[in-house]
Amino acid sequence: MGASELLTLRWRRCDRVVEPQPIGTWAVSHSAVPFVRSRDAELELFFSPRDADGRSHTARGALTLGDHGPVVTVEPEPVLQPGPLGAFDDSGAMGACLVDHRGRSHLYFIGWNRGVTVPFTTFIGCAVSADGGRTFERVSPAPVLGRSDADPYLATSPWVLVDDGRWRMWYASGVRWVSTAEGPQHQYRIVHAESDDGIEWRPTRDVCIDFASAAEYAIARPCVIRDGERYRMWFSHRGPAYSIGYAESDDGITWERDDRAGGLWPSGAGWESASVEYPCVFDYEGRRWLLYNGNGYGATGIGLAVEETT
């Protein structure tokens, strides 16, 4: 597969659809890692605000893409909040993706712990709903994917598909921590895991997106769509600052990366001037859309872009 064969997709920025606003005590800043679920021609929007202690909660609202521009309404209570003291997610429960399968909704989330020698450790958790997504309950007080021989430092940023009956996850795995003058620097890249039921996961050790240069050290937040026999992935990558990259694959394992073919970069002098990251790409009413964060890992809110049709 040559680079010339990759889908070429141009994004037209629409607007900032969410600007962080206080919602009680659980949401005082940030609107990070957006993703959507389509239900009966309506779009549910999920994202993660932070409380005054910097702990992430998962929020839910409605996203309307009408003739007069996008409109978002947010529910007053979180869908998922941090776990109990000492749990893998006591410093934050940040939703990452949602999978509906056989009458149950699986909400995969990033569980955060604050560290001592390093700033944080992350794990992947799962909460399941049997009432159509109204309420979610963790499948376990432990993560469904965490530290192991395959992922010795951290696991984070899951994206899950049920692909021809096989559960597949693309996620970020920590390679190492590096001491720098600014403090410990995390290094992680995108890898792959499989499951029979969406709960018990087996890392395959396949590296899907690796560092493109010595300056790149964080590759995270994959979003994978299957178009017929092709897999398309958007992801965050950074050296000095985050941008959104793009890759394609025939099998979901071996990927050809070409950020110019479908990526997005910082723009302007405002809320997305220094960074764009955490993509969620989805199809709605015959068009392809992109949700993403701007400066400060969601501190400035959520933006929306749409595929250019000409």
DSSP state of 230: E
Please give the domain boundaries of the chain with CATH numbers for all domains: 8-20+82-307 (2.115.10.20)
pLDDT-derived band at 8, boundaries 50, 70, 90: confident
Closest CA to 234 of 127, 126, 159, 310: 159
Q: 264 phi and psi, to 5 degrees?
A: -145, 145
Q: C-alpha distances in angstroms, 163 versus 80, 143, 156?
A: 26, 22, 21
User: Looking at residue 4, what is its pLDDT?
Assistant: 44
The three-class DSSP label of residue 231 is strand
- State the average pLDDT for the chain: 95
Q: Is the pLDDT of residue 1 over 50?
A: no
pLDDT by residue (tens digit) across 217-240? Answer: 999 999 999 999 999 999 999 988
User: Looking at residue 5, what is its pLDDT?
Assistant: 65
Contact between residue 31 and residue 302 where contact means Cβ atoms under 8 Å apart? yes
**What percent of the chain stands above pLDDT 90?**
90
What value does the mean pLDDT take over residues 139-168?
A: 97
Neighbours of 212 (CB within 10 A): 13
User: Which of 221-225, 285-289, 290-294 comes out lowest in average pLDDT?
Assistant: 285-289
Please state, in angstroms and rounded to a whole number, the distance separating the CA atoms of residues 75 and 59. Answer: 7
User: Looking at residue 89, what is its pLDDT?
Assistant: 98
The three-class DSSP label of residue 206 is strand
User: Looking at residue 157, what is its pLDDT?
Assistant: 98
Please state, in angstroms and rounded to a whole number, the distance separating the CA atoms of residues 17 and 64. Answer: 10
pLDDT by residue (tens digit) across 89-112? Answer: 999 999 999 999 999 999 999 999
Closest CA to 283 of 309, 306, 259, 262: 306
pTM as predicted:
0.96
